[in-house]
Each structure stands twice: as C-alpha cells, then as structure tokens.
Structure 1
Amino acid sequence: MQISDQTALVTGAGSGLGEATARRLAANGARVAVMDLKQDAADRVAAEIGGLAVAADVSDANAVEAAFNRVVDTLGTPRILVNCAGIATAGRIVPKEGKPDFETFARTLKINLYGSFVTLSIAAQAMAALEPLDADGARGVIVNTASVAFQDGQIGQAAYAASKGGIASMTLPAARELSRFGIRVVTIAPGVFETAMSAGLPEPVRTSLEAGIPFPSRMGRPEEYAMLVQSIVENPLLNGEVIRIDSAVRLAPK
C-alpha cells in the first residue's frame, strides 16, 4: 500500500517509537493522527508534522472510539494503524519482601494487550467498510508492537513479557480473520531501543547493556523502527508475522 494520501493513526505517538513513526509517515505524505495519553505531547508532535492530535487512554474503549471518530471526521478513515502505546513494568512473581503486585500485572496487560486489541478492533471495523485500493482487495494495514521480551523475558518481566506475548500471539489469528476484508496485521518486536525509558540509564549500565548486543552494538533508534513500519505498509506480502528488530540480541535471564 502506498503511504501518500492515506490517513494513518499512530498510538503512543507523543514520544519514542510512536513519534518517529508518525514523523516518517507524515514525511511520506500521509495524513497522520497523533494519539497519546498526554494531550500536550500529542499537540507538540502534531503541530510539527501537520497532523491531528487526539488524546486517549488505549485501555478505555469509549475514549478510543471517541478519538477515532474525531480522526475519521477530520482526516478520513485510517487505512494505517500503528500501535505503539504501552508501558514497561517490573516486578517479581515472588518478591523479596511483601506481597506480589497483582494490580501492576493487571494494569500492564490492560494497557499493552487489551489496549492494542481495542484499537485494532475499532480500526479494523472501519477499514472493512472502505473500498479496496487495488486488484488484491487491500483495504488497510495494522502494525502492533510487541517486544523481544515475548521470547526473552527477563527476571522481573513476567507482566511485561506476558502482555507482549499476547500481542505476538494475537497476530496470526487477527491476520487470518481480517484477510477477508483485505486488512493485513503484522507485529514488530523491538529489542533494546533509545526511548524515554532507556534515556535515564546510568552510563555503566548502558555500556554493559550495549556490550551484549551483537551488531550493531548499540541501542536501536526510533527512526529504525519507523523504517520497518514503512516497509510493512508498502510490502503487500508482509502479513501475519512477528518481526524482531534487535541487532541479533538475546536477552540474558537478568
């Protein structure tokens, strides 16, 4: 699918991977809706790329639907959805002190997994009603974001790995179900990337972390994630797959 002149919705687009994706899609001619939990972050990115800012908590289906309807009314129905909204949490199954944090586990799954399903479902329903773009019957592309933690989850990442594993596992059944509408579904599983979460790492920790990354031996850049999003949108045979983008890293247990 060509990106130019299409409407795209990117969640978590106020920073990090989502921001880089919104910028790349806009640079390629898309009308981009910048969705983020933080209105000011969405406003900043949207203003800089000529897009539309909408604020919503992806774990709130009513809020997402309201924001999506605003996107449709203003920019048209998105044919491209990229889910980057999510949180990273840590907590042991058997804590050294106190009780297990059940609330954090539930919150992580609700935002990362349930939130991705909410936006996917709402967008897919709208895309299915659009006219096909080509002889193949293509109507849209949905890109979800997992993490290499879905396979390499470290100690303390049970909640995060479970949430990202759910996103990865959802990919093929979603692609199969939506194929009759001409909607493709692909998931990206990033490795260690430069984001707000990694920016505060002490230099010794950062150096040690990068030393374990085979090649290139550095953190990924959000722009490199966005490059993969572009390739997925433009290549019609990419469907139903989970793609690792990780410099061949395999996370150690801790």
Structure 2
Amino acid sequence: MRTYGQYCPIARASELLAERWSIIILRNILVGCRTFNEIADGAPGLSRGLLSKRLRELERAGVIEIQAKPDGPGSIYEPTRAGHELAGVMVALHDWGSKWAQLKPERAHPGVVLWAWVNFWLDRELLPRRRVVVRFDYPTLPRPIPRGWLLIERGDAELCLKHPGGEEDLIVVINEPLAFAHWHMGKIEWTDALRSGAIAVTGSRNLARALPTWNRRSWTAEDPRARFEPPVRQAEPTTATSPA
C-alpha cells in the first residue's frame, strides 16, 4: 500500500479509505447492504473484480468484517466498530456535498435515486398493505435499461430490472432526471415536478397521491450518526434487483 509518509491522522486515514470507490462501498454497507450483490447494486459502474479488491482492502483496514453466509454460498459484509464510527464522516461528507458539490444532469440517473430511496429513505409504515407494482420510465436515457420497477409487497419494497409480474398499478415517467433527483433531495416539491412536466404519473389516483409520501426525503434523527442506521426490512427480497 502506498503511503503519504506522514504522522498526520488525516493522512493515515486517507491511506486506508481514499481509494476510488472505497467511500461508496462503505456508504452502502453502513446503510444496510450486506451481500455482494446489494453493495454492487448501489455502485453502478464499479466492476465486480474491483469491488472484491476494495472489500478485501477494507477488511484489512479493520473497518469491515467478512463472514460466510450461514445459509448458503457467498459472504456477509458487516461494519466493525471502527466502521460504525465512520458514520459521522459520511454524514459530514453528505452535508458538505449537498451544500458545495453541484449536481449535474449526467449524475442524476433515476435508477440510482430509486436505489437510495428504497434502501435509505423509504417510509415503510406508509406503504400499501397489498401488492403494488410501479413502473418508472426514463425516456431521456439511452438503452438498454430505460426503466425499472418498484415492487411492494408484505410491507417492504424492492427494485427490479425485469417486470416482476402482475398488473402495473402506476406508471411514472421521469422526463427530467435532474428534477427527480432534486425532489428526492428536498429541493423541489412533487407537485412542482408534476406541474412542470418533469414527472408524469398515470394509474390509480389514490396510489399516485400516496407515492411521494413513501419517501422521507429528510433527516429525522437528532443524532446525525443515526442517519446511517440500516433500515429494518420486514420481508426478504424475492426478485433479482438492480438500480437500473
């Protein structure tokens, strides 16, 4: 491992954490991703080979531990005590980035926004009790994956790259991905996005009204480190997922 050759704690921490993708991988683990595929889903563009390498590096750095799955092949990735203490660092990076790092249209992929919504910001208490399928179309993005599906059942939700089966209850067309990201970040309201045509929704009126309420969009915990507590999942996923 290359070093800065300095005693400074910032330099020493950077040697462990500042490799490309390491912070994104840690973010995913701290918000509750535990399997290789879950971590990869939240890091589109990261090759599986590099992900494996970074996970091993983070294990050697002592911020995650890797254990065999008790019920099948594969591994489980958990933050150590040192890893948990990086939650405050993540919060500071989030707040600084929200204030100073400009969000450009090419970085506002709706699939990544949906991944963050479902894995971090989803208000499960407000989800419908029945099975619901919501299709999200991204007409301004190139193929091969210009859409995704949100499947809700048994009090939880997951993202799907392929149609999960059954009737589509809502179709959400994201004409302006940047506006969708700004709504998710709390910078504009859902009604404003609808009025401008940035987002269009067809289907059940009741579900269309309820849809934006499923996204908490804002911090609710007094302790900022609690923002990175993993969500409580009420049901195991049944369909292969990806952020599109």
Q: Does the alignment reach a TM-score above 0.5?
A: no
Tell me the TM-score normalized by structure 2: 0.29
Greater share of helix: 1
Look at both structures and tell me which one has the larger radius of gyration over its CA atoms: 2
Tell me the TM-score normalized by structure 1: 0.28
